[in-house]
Amino acid sequence: MPNNDILLEVSHVSKQFPVKKRKLHAVSDVSLTLSRGELLGIVGESGLLICGECGCNYRRITRSSGEIVWRCANRVEHGKLYCQESPTISEQKVKDELCDALKLADYDEAMIKDHIEHVVVGRDGSLEIEIRQQTIAQILSW
Ligand SMILES: [Zn+2]
């Protein structure tokens, strides 16, 4: 494929945030190339939900019952080796709490992406929602 068809190319991108005295690895050594006509989907993992125990991303899982839940990716891949107490969270709970935090009547993925920095999942299943700084002032006036 000719190079002028490459729209996006990233190499070895890592991004970390300090979360509760730990380093959160939002992205760890990601490389990808996006060419014209391709659709990019980073499937099943979101930088939005973060495990409060190990700092890993949460992963979206569809259970055989059809229920959609989120679990720590570290725990999914390695069992309790690196992450022992992270809870499984239902997608509905995530959506409900995000809507509450942004005072949305209905779940709106674009709004969530625009306004939520990240959500740290506590061991007790609590969600610590961090709203982007520039949004807080807006919410107060909604
Ligand atoms: Zn974890």
Residues 3, 72 within the same domain: no
The total number of structural domains in the chain stands at 2
133: confidence class by pLDDT, cuts 50, 70, 90: confident
Q: Give the pLDDT confidence score for residue 9 in this predicted structure.
A: 74
Residues 57, 24 within the same domain: no
Residues 51, 98 within the same domain: yes
What distance in angstroms lies between residue 42's CA and the mean position of ligand 1's atoms? 19
Q: Give the pLDDT confidence score for residue 111 in this predicted structure.
A: 87
By residue range, what is the domain housing residue 7? 1-39
The answer, yes or no, to whether residue 63 has pLDDT greater than 80, is yes
Residues 87, 35 within the same domain: no
Q: Which of 35-44, 50-59, 130-139 has the highest mean pLDDT?
A: 50-59
Distance of CA 7 to the CA centre of its chain: 24
Q: With beta carbons less than 8 A apart as the criterion, state whether 126 and 49 touch.
A: no
Residues 133, 70 within the same domain: yes
CA distance 114 to 130: 12
In what helix (H) or strand (E) does residue 110 lie, and over which residues does it extend? helix 109-115
CA distance 39 to 101: 31
Count Cβ atoms below 10 Å from residue 49 Cβ, excluding itself.
24
Residues 79, 116 within the same domain: yes
Residues 108, 52 within the same domain: yes
Considering only residues 9 and 128, tell me which one the structure prediction assigns the higher pLDDT. Answer: 128
Residues 49, 115 within the same domain: yes
Q: Give the pLDDT confidence score for residue 40 in this predicted structure.
A: 44
The answer, yes or no, to whether residue 41 has pLDDT greater than 50, is no
What distance in angstroms lies between residue 115's CA and the mean position of ligand 1's atoms? 24
Residues 67, 128 within the same domain: yes
What distance in angstroms lies between residue 10's CA and the mean position of ligand 1's atoms? 26
Residues 50, 34 within the same domain: no
Residues 2, 56 within the same domain: no
Comparing 40-49, 97-106, 114-123, the range with the smallest average pLDDT is 40-49
Bridge partner residues of 46 (DSSP): 58
Rg (CA), the chain: 17
What distance in angstroms lies between residue 49's CA and the mean position of ligand 1's atoms? 11
What distance in angstroms lies between residue 46's CA and the mean position of ligand 1's atoms? 14
Residues 64, 101 within the same domain: yes
Q: Give the pLDDT confidence score for residue 113 in this predicted structure.
A: 86
